[in-house]
Amino acid sequence: MASIFSRIASGEIPSFKIAENENFFAFLDINPLRKGHTLVVPKQEVDHIFDLDDDLFSGLHLFSKRIANAIYKAFPCERIASAVIGLEVPHAHIHLVPIHTMKDIDFTQEKLKLSSEEMQEIASAIRSHLK
């Protein structure tokens, strides 16, 4: 069965989409640590990110770099932190999170609860900074 991220990338499950190309898909994390928290996934279903071939692996990171720079403009912060953890969904994904302190990137903390309208606004703000 397709992973939840494949079903999101195909549009079967709706998402707050940020960007997409032939190989990669970026969308807002539905349980964000901070406003602007985005997930970037390869369309190819791979569990461990380090199992991607070198072209897709570096392509995924370059795609994430573009998204990170747009998040940084939309949500000014100390850093866009990036993290690949991968214990929850067996489909490789990069977290991009605008942070001010180390605590902001603690994945064990309680997640934000945002309305659909807020998520739409966040996605629009990030997309407006993508070239």
Residues belonging to the active site: 93
| Integer Cα distance of 118 and 62 in angstroms | 27
* 22 binding a second copy? (CB under 8 A): no
Are 85 and 94 within 8 A, CB to CB? Answer: no
Q: Residues 42 to 71: which contact a second copy by CB under 8 A?
A: 48-50, 54, 57-58, 61-62, 65, 68-69
Are 39 and 94 within 8 A, CB to CB? Answer: yes
For a second copy, how many residues bind (rule: CB under 8 A)?
30
| Integer Cα distance of 2 and 91 in angstroms | 10
Q: Which of 72, 75, 91, 93 binds a second copy (CB under 8 A)?
A: 72
Considering only the stretches 1-9, 18-26, 30-38, 98-106, report the one whose residues sit in contact with a second copy under the rule CB under 8 A.
Answer: 98-106
Are 74 and 66 within 8 A, CB to CB? Answer: no
Give just the sign of the alpha carbon dihedral 11, 17, 19, 25: negative
* 83 binding a second copy? (CB under 8 A): yes
In the complex with a second copy, the residue whose CB is nearer, 32 or 119, is 32
* 131 binding a second copy? (CB under 8 A): no
Least distance CB 11 / a second copy (angstroms): 28
- List Cβ neighbours of 79 (8 Å cut-off, separation of 6 or more): 98, 99
State the residues that interact with a second copy by CB under 8 A: 48-50, 54, 57-58, 61-62, 65, 68-69, 72, 78-87, 99, 101-103, 105-108
